[in-house]
A and B are shown apart, each in its own frame.
Chain A
Amino acid sequence: MTVVAGRRTRAGADGRGSGSGRPRGRGPGRKTLAGWAYATPTAVFVAVFFVVPIALVARMSLSEWKLFTGDNGWNAPANYEAVLEDRLLWPAVWFTVKYTALTTVILLALALGLALLVQESTRWTGFLRTSFLVPSALGLASASLLFYALYSPQSGPFETAFLGTPTSALWSTVALIVWRFAGFYMLLLLVGLQGISADVYEAARLDGANRFQTFQRITLPLLRPSIALSTIMCVTGSLLAFDQFYILTKGGPDNSTITIVQLVYNAAFQGRNDLGRAAALSILVLGVLLVVNVVQFKGLRGREN
């Protein structure tokens, strides 16, 4: 959300900042110093827990670095070769992409429907909004544990084994995610819907547009920024899916539901204990994610103009 939001704020704040930044009875040096002092905790946190780890993960990806023995010197590009030769890699990539496409389409379509449903504010829609939103308060891990019990033929109300085949395991996980996130994206789209001025709808009505035409010609185009934001968040989140599969399917049945992040985790902490290799894979994931986000950003923003 902040990716899109941040851009405009910065521009806005700069305009204002030049006004408040003028020295007023104090030396500019003193104000600069105070600014730095207040920003120091943020800078320290970002440096120690973000910038240093990024540099470290890059170095680890080029080194023989095991979980228990630590750094054993450079070995580039052995880690990257090992990652690309892993027979689980391409099935995991394909599965992650398939899961992302399914989740994004279903989730956003449903969220848009819900947002349109609760658009007016009355007591009843207030109740509906709260009901759709409550699952968003749960952690993804808690929600996955809940559905793990719900899906079990032994404890749940259904007789079917939901997680038994690759296809049913995939759809069951998508259902869990839709339940957990529909309200969240509904809220995001609702904010966009409420930003559309009533005058525009009034004009459309006077022009004799019916409900479908209004939706297609007015609501959808004006909602594009919110839809773009939701799409970017949903695609990014789904490409990095981990908790739900770790808890619900453990990658099974037959390694059919292994996602990319699970491969990273497995390389580092399960069996292989190879941090260097996990680092190489996560650098690749970071690279791909940056490209995907730039493409999405350009595609979704570009059409707007």
Chain B
Amino acid sequence: MLRTPSRVLTGALALLFLFPLLWAAVASVSPQGGTAQTNGWGFANYVTLAHYQAGIGRYVLNSTAVSLMTVLFTLSVSLLGGYAFAMFRFPGRNALFLVTLAILMVPYATLLIPLYVLLNNLGLQNSLVGLALVLTMFQLPFAVFMMRISFESVPGELRESALVDGCGSFRALLHILLPAVRPGLVTVGMFAFLAAWNDFITPLVLISDSAKAPLPLAVANMRQQVMGIVDYGATEAGVVVLALPCIVLFLALQRHYVRGFMSGALKG
């Protein structure tokens, strides 16, 4: 008896959260004055977007390259780092782990000012590789922490046998332990991808060549550059292109998203 009214209420609440996303998807293809799509429904806004400056393809490519590099760097560094912190004892181990976590305590802006200068000195100004390296650094506290607890939760016998078995520690990692920490890697990889794909202030500071801009920066810049008049249709289309991969990835890997929280919170 109680069930129906509460379902209506909670359903309305859910709809409230979904509404902005649905609106953007519908508005991007619906007719609207001041946009490319004035009569009838269609994809004219996406065509505008496709021809904006270097072309949307270029920006999607930039974002994809940066995101994949960030995922690759983050996975390699945190896999080895997590292995070291969980399974070995060496001088400076706790200090290094603490300093890695301390990255969380420092605001992005505080680090981006010197990083702008530093990347120039390293010849990485306006470089997507430089951007990916910086984004990887921002991911390390979560990633190294996550991989450390993944290795620590591998059953004791498996860890012992991996190290005693006579095969070197690197082969033990590849053949015995890697399959056991795969869920941790998926979680770390997904968070790294979402963070790199979505980051705004880092490319805003580090990338000044507009042809090298990742997608969020390109769509944000687009608003101001069409003769001072904002093309809302193209902005809506840009939001859809930005959001779609994230939502698909999130729905596909939702379990791992929740897992990321569980591991952090259970240990706390």
Enumerate chain A interface residues (CB-CB to B < 8 A): 1-10, 12-14, 16-18, 20-21, 24-25, 31-43, 45-46, 48-54, 56-57, 60, 65, 70, 117, 124, 127-128, 130-142, 145-150, 152, 154-155, 157, 179, 182-183, 187-188, 191-192, 195, 225-226, 229, 240, 242-243, 246-247, 261, 264-265, 268-269, 275, 278-279, 282-283, 285-286, 289-290, 293
User: Closest residue of chain B to A286, judged by CB?
Assistant: B110
User: Closest residue of chain B to A275, judged by CB?
Assistant: B113
Q: Is B96 an interface residue (CB 8 A)?
A: yes
Most chain A CB within 10 A, of B15, B17, B33, B261, is at: B17
Q: Is B85 an interface residue (CB 8 A)?
A: yes
Q: Is B129 an interface residue (CB 8 A)?
A: no
Contact call B200/A279, Cβ cutoff below 8 A: no
- Chain A residues with Cβ below 8 Å from B254 are 130, 133
Q: Is B47 an interface residue (CB 8 A)?
A: no
A49 with B115, Cβ < 8 A, contacts A2-B142, A42-B81, A128-B14 known: yes
A32 with B90, Cβ < 8 A, contacts A50-B103, A155-B232, A192-B265 known: yes
Known A-B contacts: A2-B141, A142-B198. Give 13 more (CB < 8 A): A20-B89, A39-B81, A41-B76, A131-B17, A132-B14, A134-B251, A137-B250, A139-B197, A141-B199, A141-B217, A155-B232, A265-B201, A279-B113
How far is A118 from B30 in the complex, measured between Cα atoms in Å?
35
Most chain B CB within 10 A, of A146, A147, A187, A247, is at: A146
- Chain A residues with Cβ below 8 Å from B17 are 131-132, 134-135, 179, 182-183
| Choice from B27, B134, B232, B258 contacting A187 with Cβ under 8 Å | B258
- Chain A residues with Cβ below 8 Å from B140 are 42, 45-46
User: Closest residue of chain B to A113, judged by CB?
Assistant: B13
- Chain A residues with Cβ below 8 Å from B115 are 49, 53
- Chain A residues with Cβ below 8 Å from B258 are 187
Contact call B267/A51, Cβ cutoff below 8 A: no
User: Closest residue of chain B to A40, judged by CB?
Assistant: B80
Enumerate chain B interface residues (CB-CB to A < 8 A): 7, 10, 13-15, 17-18, 20-21, 23-24, 27, 32-35, 76-78, 80-81, 83-91, 93-94, 96-111, 113-118, 133-134, 136-137, 140-142, 144-145, 148-149, 152, 159-160, 163-164, 169, 194, 197-201, 204-205, 216-217, 219-220, 223, 230, 232-233, 235-236, 238-239, 242-243, 246-247, 249-251, 254, 257-258, 261-262, 264-268
Contact call B107/A269, Cβ cutoff below 8 A: no
| Choice from B23, B85, B194, B230 contacting A150 with Cβ under 8 Å | B23
Give the distance to chain A from B153, nearest Cβ to Cβ, in Å: 11
Contact call A139/B200, Cβ cutoff below 8 A: yes
Give the distance to chain B from A164, nearest Cβ to Cβ, in Å: 15
How far is A176 from B118 in the complex, measured between Cα atoms in Å?
34
A1 with B144, Cβ < 8 A, contacts A139-B216, A152-B230, A286-B107 known: no
Contact call B144/A42, Cβ cutoff below 8 A: yes
- Chain A residues with Cβ below 8 Å from B219 are 142, 145
| Choice from A4, A155, A191 contacting B262 with Cβ under 8 Å | A191
Contact call A142/B216, Cβ cutoff below 8 A: yes
Nearest first, the 5 closest Cβ-Cβ pairs linking A and B are: A139-B198, A35-B88, A155-B232, A38-B84, A137-B250
Contact call B81/A41, Cβ cutoff below 8 A: yes
Contact call A139/B246, Cβ cutoff below 8 A: yes
Give the distance to chain B from A48, nearest Cβ to Cβ, in Å: 8
How far is A246 from B224 in the complex, measured between Cα atoms in Å?
13
| Choice from B89, B117, B134, B145 contacting A17 with Cβ under 8 Å | B89
Contact call B27/A5, Cβ cutoff below 8 A: no
How far is A17 from B88 in the complex, measured between Cα atoms in Å?
7
